[in-house]
Amino acid sequence: MRKIVLVAALMAATSAAAQTSGGGDTGGGIVRAVKPVTGEQVYGAVCQACHMADAKGASGAGTIPALASNPRLAGAAYPIMIVTGGKGAMPGFSGTLSNAQMAEAVTYIRTHFGNAYAKPVTEADVAKIAKPPAAGGH
Amino acid sequence: MESGVRVPTRRQLLSAIAKVGGTAALYQAMTTLGHAAETQFHGPPNLQGARPGASVIVLGAGLAGMLAAFELTKAGYKVQILEFQNRAGGRNWSLRGGDTYTELGGATQKVGFSAGNYLNPGPWRIPHHHRTLLHYCKQFGVALEPFIQFNHSGWVHSSQAFDGKPVRFNAAAADFEGNIAELLAKSVNAKALDDTVTQEDRDKLLEALKGWGMLDNDYRYAAGLKASNHRGFERPPGGGVNGAPIPSKDLYKLHDVLDPQVWTSMAFFMGHEMQTTMFQPVGGMDMIGKAFAKQVESLITYGAKVSKIAQDDKGVVVSWTDTATGKTADAKADWCVCTIPLGILGQMDLQVTDEMMAAIKAVPYSGQVKIGLEMKRRFWEEDDYIYGGHSFTDQEIALISYPNNNMFKDGPAVLLGAFAREMGAYRLAGMTPEQRIGVALAQGSVLHPKSYRQEFASGASVAWSRVPWTLGCCARWNDDTRKEHYQTLVGMDRRIVLAGEHASYVGCWMEGALLSSIDAITRLHKRALEA
């Protein structure tokens, strides 16, 4: 079963995930990244870039907030709003990730890292909140 | 010209304009007539006559902040700069052997490169039309050398074409163009375009397709010396007995050259900002930041973490903490030029309008990842005849870029082993520095299978989403945010004005930071004289 999921993910990645460059100084060509599917995969391939592997965030001149043991995750609407629409330096992921991927990620975060909000977030929950991404870069 | 009225030549016209309006007018006119152009830089701002005792506090000692400080000091202002880091330059930055870099999350890398080698984690190339930056490089004595942007011999790799093997850019591009030319010629000859193209233009078009697309007399793109002249030979021309060239025989199939990796790699060089000639500073990109810093060094306070910017009718008060001692202080000035990246600025206590606060918080940042790999020898030059420039891959690393200096030298050299963006960058940024190097070596080995791992000595990576003083690489505007927030963001908020690449339409480039800075201080100066 896991193998089938992985193969399906790779096939999806080969068609849909080819990304050309946005604006600014960029690498050129296209990139075909393997498409993460499960909440754990999406967290590791995307969220972790800023929120860290332990979801504790970090602080320098500014702060990347911790997702671990975060009571603001109790209601699903708030994290869905942030993941789809972004906040401050964090980009919204509508258009980059599918509603299903975002639902998996939010469910994963709300049930791990010291959070225990068991009710799964569905693709439909995300669709209700996500706005379509705006056109044009830079 | 046989008509009664004598029309002046373009040259006569330009020289007349120069006499009347000076060089600025000449420049404008040349732009209108289709010469020069390409940037909004019309020379340094040349501000003068600040009110006696007037003061400005500049937040951030990146290029925008340092340029503001330099020009405002010249105009007569008393200027001080607060900088979070312990060095000037901001994203204009180079990592060298012996440097230590700690990213958010705590991972620390000690860079192990040999003397003279470096990684430019941020900016690394300068378009020839970024005239503001080039102007100040010249003024501040920064030596520039060519950046080999376009190398026809680089590799193009797609996991889904050419059996997953890297192919030379010139061969893939020639076969793309040849195939497209053949198809278009077929359409013309099948009279498919007769409704839209005149007979005269059809003839010209066929001639162009034959020449540009390397077609034979039957308008076919076929193996032969003509095609080889673009894509390379099986045996190139030589001297003596075996001097005759042998054309390359196996052209790539249409199906393969239509893989988007081919045309996007070709189109990359068509973009205005990617066109040659490009430059880099001799010795590392941070030579620019260092040269700017030399002009304003005495004005900079390092290790200053700003937490609050307040203002009233009389002036600005900036609250900051010394990151070394933990001591807090207030700095006062009449005016403030704030270049702090928006993701960080939006987390501060700011006395600005609600609209400005909304604008600051509306712009997300990109999170590119760069990885420098030091190799024990220049195998790309010695084995593959690649001298500078890039190879493209559809793997997460996106490219390999080869050093543009010290060619033909023995000894170690640092190549850029990743310039990841978007999904590729998120994945690499989420890894430990060691894991990133592992991925860079595995993916780079697909392009250089024989030598990549074998010659590897050490590596360093910068994931911009984890850079403590920016929380990202570049501000990412879109059509909606531009419309809703841009004019607010660049407008003066009483005594505060923002500057930086985020306050420009040349986002992600040093040029944008400088143009934004010049525009901001010009308006600030005008406001200060009116006040």
| Residue A42 distance to chain B (closest CA, Å) | 9
Domain that holds residue B223: 169-253
Q: Which residue has the tokens 């076929």?
A: B222
Q: Output the pLDDT for position A135.
A: 78
Select from B69, B44, B46, B47 the least CA-distant residue to B57.
B69
Q: Chain A contacts of B471, Cβ < 8 Å?
A: 50, 60-62, 64, 89
Distance from CA of B371 to the nearest CA of A (A): 13
Q: What is the pLDDT of residue A25?
A: 85
Structural domain contains residue B41:
no
- For the residues A61-74, what does the mean pLDDT come to? 98
CB contact under 8 A, A31 and B424: yes
| Residue B3's pLDDT band (cuts 50, 70, 90) | very low
Q: Which pLDDT score, from 0 to 100, does residue A28 have?
A: 86
In the DSSP assignment, the letter for residue B164 is G
Flag whether pLDDT at B60 surpasses 50. Answer: yes
Note the pLDDT of residue B26: 47
Rounded Cα–Cα distance for residues A32 and A14 (Å): 6
Task: Check if A6 contacts B (Cβ < 8 Å).
Answer: no
CB contact under 8 A, B365 and A91: yes
Residue B161: band (very low, low, confident or very high) from pLDDT cuts 50, 70, 90: very high
**Residues in chain A closer than 8 A to B478 (CB atoms):** 133-137
pTM of this prediction?
0.91
Domain residue ranges in chain A: 1-35, 36-129
Higher pLDDT, B527 or A29: B527
**B84 and B100, same domain (yes or no):** no
B27, part of any domain: no
Question: Once rounded to an integer, what is the mean pLDDT over residues A28-32?
Answer: 91
How high does pLDDT run on average in chain B?
A: 94
* pLDDT tops 90 at residue B421: yes
A36-129, which class in CATH?
mainly alpha
- Is residue B26 assigned to a domain? no
CB-CB: which of A31, A46, A60 is closest to B469?
A60
Given CA atoms B299, B305, B311, B317 in this order, what sign does their dihedral have? negative
Q: What is the pLDDT of residue B40?
A: 86
Torsion angle of the four alpha carbons B186, B189, B191, B193, in this order, in degrees rounded to the nearest 10: 60
Q: What is the CATH number of the domain that holds B203?
A: 1.20.1440.240
Mean pLDDT of B271-281: 96
Nearest to B343 among A33, A45, A89 (CB): A89
B195 in the same domain as B223:
yes
Residue A131: pLDDT band by 50, 70, 90 thresholds?
A: confident
Q: Do B471 and A33 touch (CB under 8 A)?
A: no
CB contact under 8 A, B366 and A22: yes
Same domain, yes or no, for B373 and B449? yes
Q: Are residues B445 and B397 in the same domain?
A: yes
- Is B435 domain-assigned? yes
pLDDT for residue A8? 39
Neighbouring residues of A109: CB distance < 8 A, sequence distance ≥ 6? A39, A43, A47, A55, A67, A73, A79, A115
pLDDT tens-digit series, residues B66-110: 999 999 999 999 999 999 999 999 999 999 999 999 999 999 999
Nearest chain A residue (CA) to B84: A61
In chain B, the percentage of residues whose pLDDT exceeds 70 is 93
Please state which of the ranges A59-63, B12-16, B125-129, B451-455 shows the lowest mean pLDDT: B12-16
B415 shares a domain with B345: no
| Separation of alpha carbons B24 and B171, rounded Å | 45
Q: What SS3 state is found at B318?
A: strand
Which residues in chain A are contacts of B361 at CB distance < 8 A? Answer: 87-88
Q: Count the domains in chain B.
A: 3
pLDDT at A72: 97
Asked if the structure places residue B75 within a domain, the reply is: yes
Domain check: are B223 and B358 in the same one?
A: no
At residue A27 the predicted structure's pLDDT band, cuts being 50, 70 and 90, is confident
- Measured between alpha carbons, how far is B10 from B13 in angstroms, rounded to an integer? 5
Cα B89 to the center of its chain, rounded Å: 16
Q: Is residue B173 located within the same domain as residue B232?
A: yes
Q: Is B143 helix (H, G, I), strand (E, B) or coil?
A: coil
pLDDT recorded at residue B38: 65
- For tokens 């944008």, the residue is B512
Contact B265 A62 (CB under 8 A): no
**In which element (H, E) is residue B240 found?**
none
* Residue B87 CB neighbours (<10 A): 14
Predicted local confidence at residue B27, as pLDDT: 45
Q: Residue B15: pLDDT band by 50, 70, 90 thresholds?
A: low
The per-residue pLDDT of chain A, averaged, comes to 86
Between B269 and B13, whose confidence is greater? Answer: B269
Of the pLDDT bands very low, low, confident and very high (cuts 50, 70, 90), residue B30 is very low
Is residue A91 within 8 angstroms of chain B, CB to CB?
Answer: yes
| Interface check A86 vs B, CB under 8 A | yes
User: Cβ contact (<8 Å) for B466 and A58?
Assistant: yes
B103, B227: one domain: no
Q: pLDDT tier at A19 (50, 70, 90 boundaries)?
A: low
B475, B501 in Cβ contact below 8 A? yes
State which H helix or E strand residue A8 sits in. Answer: helix A2-16
List the CATH number of the domain containing B356: 3.50.50.60
Two tokens at B176? 């793309």
Token duo for residue B342: 């928006």
Task: Give CA–CA dist B412/B377, Å, rounded.
Answer: 5
In a domain, B358, yes or no: yes
User: The domain that contains B107 carries what CATH number?
Assistant: 3.90.660.10
Hey, are the CB atoms on A88 and B342 less than 8 Å from each other?
yes
